[in-house]
A and B are shown apart, each in its own frame.
Chain A
Amino acid sequence: GNSVTQMEGPVTLSEEAFLTINCTYTATGYPSLFWYVQYPGEGLQLLLKATKADDKGSNKGFEATYRKETTSFHLEKGSVQVSDSAVYFCALTPGTGGFKTIFGAGTRLFVKA
């Protein structure tokens, strides 16, 4: 079946540190991949996406590359800020039709000043 696995949190970093949040997936066909972000007390917001192998999604300094050979979609940012503190969800929609989204468990990020 389809599934998403993320690294467990929380991840605690100092401001300006490099961020990596690992995400791997299992899917039939050619899924689309997403990262959503949830700030405290809010709903999820789409952060970035990639729809085919080797695509790189980017937004607000965050990047993730769709790696079919390793079935991964790791989230990276070169220099985090306190305002990046949030929960990050990796997600996929199967390539076999339909648009049900499968979410990972989420990774909480704390950034210290």
Chain B
Amino acid sequence: IAGITQAPTSQILAAGRRMTLRCTQDMRHNAMYWYRQDLGLGLRLIHYSNTAGTTGKGEVPDGYSVSRANTDDFPLTLASAVPSQTSVYFCASSDDRFPNEQYFGPGTRLTVT
């Protein structure tokens, strides 16, 4: 593994179903983030974690939850998916020495039908 990996690459999900998007980094970064990318809106922060064991809400947290059991993994869960959650989801991380510089994963394209 080099950098950040996300899984799955893409997914079609029926409304009402539960889904967990996976994110793993091997850079030992303390801070991790989840964004959604929608056309014309750029990237919006869903949740973040400053370090293992802590999480915080971003700009658009409703309908999503996260956990941070260890440094490397930061899964994002949709408890009951809705069509408005159709988006491309990016996980990112940053080094404490350069907290403003973020490294991004390749993204997960999610379609909720």
Q: Which A residues are within 8 Å of any B CB, using their own CB?
A: 4, 32, 34, 41-46, 49, 51, 89, 93, 99-101, 103-106
Q: Which B residues are within 8 Å of any A CB, using their own CB?
A: 4, 31, 35, 40-45, 48, 58, 90, 92, 94, 99-107
Assuming the A-B contacts A43-B105, A45-B104, are A105 and B45 also in contact, with contact meaning beta carbons closer than 8 angstroms in the complex? no
Verify A106–B107 contact, CB threshold 8 A: no
Assuming the A-B contacts A43-B107, A44-B90, are A101 and B102 also in contact, with contact meaning beta carbons closer than 8 angstroms in the complex? yes
- The interface residues of chain A lying within 8 Å CB-to-CB of B44 are 103
Verify A104–B90 contact, CB threshold 8 A: no
Chain B residues touching A, majority SS:
strand
- The interface residues of chain A lying within 8 Å CB-to-CB of B42 are 4, 89, 103-106
- The interface residues of chain B lying within 8 Å CB-to-CB of A32 are 100
Shortest distance from the beta carbon of A34 to any chain B beta carbon, whole Å: 7
Shortest distance from the beta carbon of A42 to any chain B beta carbon, whole Å: 6
- The interface residues of chain B lying within 8 Å CB-to-CB of A101 are 45, 100, 102
Verify A99–B100 contact, CB threshold 8 A: yes
Question: Which chain A residue shows the least CB distance to B3?
Answer: A43
Verify B43–A44 contact, CB threshold 8 A: yes
Shortest distance from the beta carbon of A37 to any chain B beta carbon, whole Å: 11
Verify B100–A44 contact, CB threshold 8 A: no
Verify A43–B106 contact, CB threshold 8 A: yes
Assuming the A-B contacts A49-B101, A100-B48, are A43 and B41 also in contact, with contact meaning beta carbons closer than 8 angstroms in the complex? no
What are 20 A-B contacts defined by CB distance under 8 Å?
A32-B100, A41-B106, A42-B106, A43-B92, A43-B106, A43-B107, A44-B92, A44-B102, A46-B101, A49-B101, A99-B94, A99-B99, A99-B100, A100-B58, A101-B102, A103-B35, A103-B42, A103-B44, A105-B40, A105-B42
Interface centre among B40, B94, B104, B106 (most CB of A within 10 A): B104
Assuming the A-B contacts A41-B106, A99-B31, are A93 and B100 also in contact, with contact meaning beta carbons closer than 8 angstroms in the complex? yes
